[in-house]
Amino acid sequence: MAQHRRPPAVALSFEFFPPKTAAAAERLWQTVEQLNEAGILQGYVDRRYQPDGRGTRAQMASILDRTYKFLTGEALPSDGDQFSDDSQSVHQESINAVAAADIMHGIDGRFEPNLHVKRGPMAQYAARTMIRLEETGRIRPPQ
């Protein structure tokens, strides 16, 4: 079995749901690496991933946008700039795309890109992405 080399700054640590076995931990890291290779999950410029770190609404928008592109080969349609508070964000294009696709919404007319994402909204965003994929015929719902 091939050894997977991880950057030293990437610690094998999952605070909330730690893998029960070494094999489960390895499989989890393999999946994270596959999502990275697919361009869906991206770390920081210095190659850190920070699995125990918190994600922002802007980062979530990019993950959902990249997931859609990976699964369909096409970008989500965008209706231009949707919010006034995301112009300094590297995630602005993805923010506008997921807003136009009705996957994520603003808060009182703003996107609030730096707010942390809780698990409830994360599940809603993932579900809306799946609905969008179903509506466009990209995936079939389970029978």
pLDDT digits (tens, 9 = 90+) for 60-102: 999 999 999 998 999 998 888 989 999 999 999 999 999 999 9
Q: Give the pLDDT band of residue 139 (cuts 50, 70, 90).
A: confident
Would the pLDDT of 35 be above 60?
yes
pLDDT for residue 135: 87
Q: Cα–Cα distance between 56 and 117 in angstroms, integer?
A: 5
Q: Is the pLDDT score of 13 beyond 70?
A: no
Bridge partners (DSSP) of residue 116 are: 56
Q: What is the signed CA dihedral for 16, 22, 28, 30, rounded to 10 degrees?
A: 150
The pLDDT assigned to 18 comes to 66
Q: Which residue has the tokens 């979530």?
A: 60
Q: What percent of the chain has pLDDT over 90?
A: 42
Asked if the model's pLDDT at residue 36 lies above 80, the reply is yes
Burial class (CB in 10 A: 0-12, 13-18, 19+), 36: middle
Average pLDDT in the chain: 81
What does pTM read for this prediction?
Answer: 0.78
pLDDT at 9: 33
